[in-house]
Amino acid sequence: MTERVDFYARQAANRRWTWTLVLTFLVLAALVGLAADLFVFGSYRPGAGGFPIVSALAVAVASLQSVNAYFYGDRSILRALKAKPLNPMGDREERELFNIVTEMSIASGLTPPKVYVIDDPAPNAFATGRDPEHASIGVTRGLLEVLDREQTQGVIAHEMAHIKNYDIRTMTLVAALFGVVVLLADWSLRSLRYGGRVAGARRAGKRGGGGGAAGILLLLTILLMIVAPLLSRLVAMAVSRQREYLADAGGTEFTRNPLGLARALEEIASHHSPLKRATRGTAHLFIHDPLERKLDNREGFWADLFSTHPPIEKRVQRLRQMAYVG
């Protein structure tokens, strides 16, 4: 007997999360833009008028990127990872993968997703897209070579659970929008360092008798530019860890075989080579951290804040408990 997953409740929760994420990233982009308006270009000062040009541009860019991420984020991720479409008539591993995806599509009641292969020896897999009708699953060549059929079936079932839960929409948006905030903050800091108008802002503050307040505001502005990428990363991490547990449980509903996925996770974790083309912005998409960071194998406050995945040992333990209940 396996832990039950309410897919409809998860779908509703993920729709809410999607809107929350988009609004959060738009607010962060606006704040970084306002910081640039205040102390880089001097185009806006509270009480002194002017139009916050950079703020408006930052929100516009973030909004356009949100729309682009919704419709085309999966293509960007697949292109960045150099994923190639699966050839059902190719070698034995690819034919077997095609059959497994077909079986799990039937078991889950979903439209068969597009399937891609990444030419990398590190065993791993991910799912992306905006909904089950526009979903893609990617697996590495290493995964096809080191896992047996039962293990591969567990991995694909896990990714199908992400698709059915609409996790893919939320995680694809996170991958795209995280990059926007990082780029905006980096650009603002470089502008402030090499061509900003800090001195002008200080003089303006002194003329108004508020030099000390202007200095404090400048310090807070610089702090925001530095902290914004960290905040956006914390948001990204917050949506990742618990989803892996839920997808593990959801996948076992399709296979009725928790031990298949448990053995797959153990095998994947035993290979310590990072996936070459993975980045911090896409790491949360994969079934196991592709960057092989030690923090993902730990528990506690800092691990909960900064790691993309729960510890493999905890996931395997839960799966084995499912296998021996009832």
Both tokens of 181, joined, read 């905030």
24 and 162 part of one domain: no
State the CATH number of the domain containing residue 273: 3.30.2010.10
How many separate domains does the chain show?
A: 2
| Strands (E) located in the chain | 44-45, 49-50, 84-85, 114-118, 125-129, 135-140
**Is residue 31 domain-resident?**
yes
**Is residue 141 domain-resident?**
yes
Measured on CA atoms in the order 308, 311, 314, 317, is the torsion positive or negative? positive
pLDDT tens for each residue of the chain, 326 residues long: 445 666 677 677 777 777 777 787 778 777 777 777 776 666 666 666 667 787 788 788 878 887 888 898 899 999 999 999 999 998 999 999 999 999 999 999 999 999 999 999 999 999 999 999 999 999 999 999 999 999 999 999 999 999 999 989 888 877 777 666 666 666 666 666 655 544 444 444 444 444 555 555 556 556 666 666 666 666 666 666 678 888 998 999 999 999 999 999 999 999 988 999 998 778 889 999 998 877 666 666 566 666 778 889 999 999 999 887 54
3-class DSSP state of 284:
helix
pTM of this structure: 0.79
Measured on CA atoms in the order 137, 142, 143, 145, is the torsion positive or negative? positive
Contact assessment for residue 177 and residue 19, using Cβ atoms and an 8 Å cutoff: no
3-class DSSP state of 136:
strand
156 and 276 part of one domain: yes
Contact assessment for residue 122 and residue 275, using Cβ atoms and an 8 Å cutoff: yes
Both tokens of 117, joined, read 């292969």
Catalytic, 159? Answer yes
| Residue 73 CA, distance from chain mean position | 11
Q: Among 94, 103, 145, 159, which one carries the catalytic annotation?
A: 159
**Is residue 119 domain-resident?**
yes
**Is residue 73 domain-resident?**
no
What is the rounded distance in angstroms from the CA atom of residue 257 to the CA atom of residue 151? 10
| Domain region containing 44 | 7-62+177-236
Compute CA distances 105 → 12, 163, 174, whole Å: 21, 10, 25
Nearest to 248 by CA among 318, 146, 153: 318
